[in-house]
Structure 1
Amino acid sequence: MLGPRFFIFISEVLRQVWILAFHYRLSQEDKETLEKYFPYYSNLKPAHQKEFRHKLQLILTQKRFFARGGLDRVSAEMKVLIGATIVQVTFGYRNVWLKHFNKILIYPNTYFSNISKTYHRGEVNPRHGIIVLSWECFVRGLALDHDGVNLGIHEIAHALKLENQIQYNGESNFFNPKLWQKYSELAAQEKELLKQGEDDFFRERGAVDLHEFFAVALENFFERPDEFKSRKPELYQVLVMLLQQDPLTLRAV
C-alpha cells in the first residue's frame, strides 16, 4: 500500500515540473517596484537582493491571486509586493515557500465576514490554503514602515506558523523545536506584561493570544529591529535564530 510519503514525493515532482514550465520572470518594472516600494529589499546587500529576486520568482510561479470585493483586477504591482512579503518573512529558509497557502485573495479595502459578522483587514484560512488581504491596509503597512504595524507581515506570520504545523505537504517542522520552546516561554512572559499594561513596546493586539503575539512580534522584528533588539534583546535574538535571519545584518549599510 502506498503511504503518504509517496504522494508527497509525487506532489513535489509535479510542483517542480510546473515551476520549470511556467516560471515567472521579473520584469524591469517589477524590479523597479521592489526598489521603490519595498524597503526590506532595497536595503539588502546586492548579493542578497539577487537571492531575494530568485525566491520571489519561484513564489510568484506557485501562488494564485484573485480579486475580490469589487477590485477590478490583480495588478503586477500587487503580486510583486505581496509575494515580496512572503519572501521577506521566509528569507532565512531557502526551501520554505508556504506551499499550503497557494491562493491569495485581495479586497480593495476592509471587508465584511459573514462568519464572524465583523469587518476584517486580513486573515488566513488553513483549511482552504488561503491568505486574504485588504490592499488598502496592506499598502498602508508598507508606507509606514517603522511603526510596527504591517498587515502583510502580520498575516504571513500566521501562515508561517501554521505551515510549520501542517504535516502532509512536505514543508513542515522547519522551526527548531528547542528554539520554538524558548521563544514560547519568552512570548508568554511578554504577552502577560502587555496584558497587564506593564510594557508598551508591542501593540495591544499581541495580548489577545500567543498566535497574535507571534504575528505582532514579527511586525516589529522586521519594521523596528533596532528598537526591538535594544528593548527586548533576548526575544530578538531567539527570533533571529528561529527565523534564520537578522534584518540588521542583512542591510547594505
Structure 2
Amino acid sequence: MLQHVSTELQENPLIDKYVIGGLAIILSIVVVVGALVWFFNLIESIYVDYIGGKPLFRHFYFRIRDLSPKQKHILDTEFSFYKSLNSKEQRYFRHRVHKFLSTTEFIGKEDLVITEQQRVLISATAIMLTFGYRVYAIKLVDKILVYPSSFYSNLDKAHHKGHFNPGFKAVIFSWEDFLIGYKIEDDNINLGIHEFIHAIHLSALKTGYKNSVSSYLFLSGLQEVTDFINADSNYKNKIKQSEYFRDYAFTNDFEFIAVLIENFIETPKAFKSQFPEIYNKVKRMLNFNFSGY
C-alpha cells in the first residue's frame, strides 16, 4: 500500500533575515557609490567651469597594460609626439594605444594586408588627440578600414583619401596618404589627424556622449574659437589672408576645426606666433599641456 505524503516548505526566519540584510547592504553600497559619482561629477564640473578649465585628473587605471617590443619600437622610431613625452606619460600613452588596439577592428581593403605598423600608427594618432582627456575613447569608432591608396565611395560617387562614417562607426584611410602625413611633419596636412577630429567632433555632439567632461571641453572650446573669430570681421579676414590655414578649412565648421588642429599639432610655434589667441583656445580645448606645446 502506497502512502501519499505531503510536505510543506517551512519558512526559516533566520534565512529571511540574512537575505533582507544582504539586499539592504547591496542597495546601500549602490546608493553610496552613486552619490559619490554624482558628487565627483559636480565638483569636477565646477572645477572645469570656474577654476581649472580641465579635468581634475587625466589618468586612472585599475591595471596598466603595455605594448609588445615590436609595437613599442614603432612608437619609438616613427611617432614624434610619443618621443616628446616623459617616461611616465609614455607609459600611459602605450596603455591607451593597447586599449585602442584591443577594442578596434582593422580591416584591409583591396587585398591590403594590415601590418603592425599600420595598426600602431593609426591607433597612436587617435590616442594623441585625446591624450589630454581622462575619458579618451572615441565612441563612434570601432573599425578602421585601410585602402592602399585613394578609394572610390559609392555614397557620394567620389574618390577620397580619407573618410569618417559615423553610421558604420568606421574611419577609412588611404594608407599611402596617411603615411605622407607623418613623413612630412610641417606642412599642416595630416590625414589621420583630420579624420579622427571629425570622429571626435561627431562623438561629442551625439546624444548620450555630450555630457562627459571630454565632450564638454571639446565643444565649449570649439564654440569659444568660432565666437572669437566671428566677433571681429577684420580678424577673420586676417586668418583667410594669412594663408597659414589652407583654403579647405573654410568649407564648413567641421572642416575648419579639423584643419585648425592639424596646424596646431604640426606647427605649434608658427600657430602660436601668428594667432596666439586661437592657439591658446585650442590648447585648452584639447587640454594639450605637453612638451612642445
TM-score, normalised with respect to structure 1: 0.82
Aligned position for 1:179: 221
Larger Rg: 2
1:213/1:42 Cα in 2 relative to 1: closer, same or farther (>3 Å)?
same
Aligned position for 1:164: 204
Shift of 1:47: 1.8
Shift of 1:69: 2.3
Aligned position for 1:97: 137
Partner of 1:131, secondary structure, is strand
For structure 2, the 5+ residue unaligned runs are 1-61
Over residues 84-117 of structure 1, what are the superposed CA-to-partner deviations in whole Å (9 max), with x where a residue is unaligned? Answer: 0001111101212102210110001000112222
Over residues 18-60 of structure 1, what are the superposed CA-to-partner deviations in whole Å (9 max), with x where a residue is unaligned? Answer: xx9xx97511111110111111111212221111111111111
Aligned position for 1:235: 278
Measured in 2, the distance between the counterparts of 1:243 and 1:87 equals: 12
Is 2:247 aligned against 1:204? yes
The number of residues matched between the two structures is: 227
Partner of 1:198, secondary structure, is helix
8 Å CA contact 1:113, 1:119 repeated in 2: yes
Measured in 1, the distance between the counterparts of 2:136 and 2:243 equals: 32
Measured in 2, the distance between the counterparts of 1:95 and 1:115 equals: 32
Measured in 2, the distance between the counterparts of 1:25 and 1:124 equals: 28
Partner of 1:51, secondary structure, is helix
8 Å CA contact 2:75, 2:121 repeated in 1: yes
1:24/1:46 Cα in 2 relative to 1: closer, same or farther (>3 Å)?
closer
Identity of aligned residues (%): 32
Aligned position for 2:263: 220
Measured in 1, the distance between the counterparts of 2:86 and 2:249 equals: 31
Aligned position for 1:142: 182
Aligned position for 1:16: none
Shift of 1:175: 2.5
Aligned position for 1:56: 97
Is 2:159 aligned against 1:119? yes
TM-score, normalised with respect to structure 2: 0.71
Partner of 2:146, secondary structure, is strand
8 Å CA contact 2:71, 2:116 repeated in 1: yes
Superposition RMSD on alpha carbons, in Å?
A: 2.5
Looking at both structures, which has the greater relative contact order when contacts are Cα pairs under 8 Å and sequence separation is at least 6?
1
1:221/1:128 Cα in 2 relative to 1: closer, same or farther (>3 Å)?
same
8 Å CA contact 1:194, 1:207 repeated in 2: no
31, 34, 41: which one aligns with 2:75: 34
Measured in 1, the distance between the counterparts of 2:268 and 2:87 equals: 20
Shift of 1:220: 0.7
Shift of 1:120: 0.1
Partner of 1:132, secondary structure, is strand
8 Å CA contact 1:192, 1:207 repeated in 2: no
8 Å CA contact 1:206, 1:213 repeated in 2: yes
Letter paired with 1:200: E
8 Å CA contact 1:109, 1:137 repeated in 2: yes
Letter paired with 2:99: L
Partner of 2:242, secondary structure, is coil
1:68/1:98 Cα in 2 relative to 1: closer, same or farther (>3 Å)?
same
1:38/1:85 Cα in 2 relative to 1: closer, same or farther (>3 Å)?
same
Is 2:114 aligned against 1:70? no
Aligned position for 2:27: none
Aligned position for 2:193: 153
Measured in 1, the distance between the counterparts of 2:271 and 2:160 equals: 27
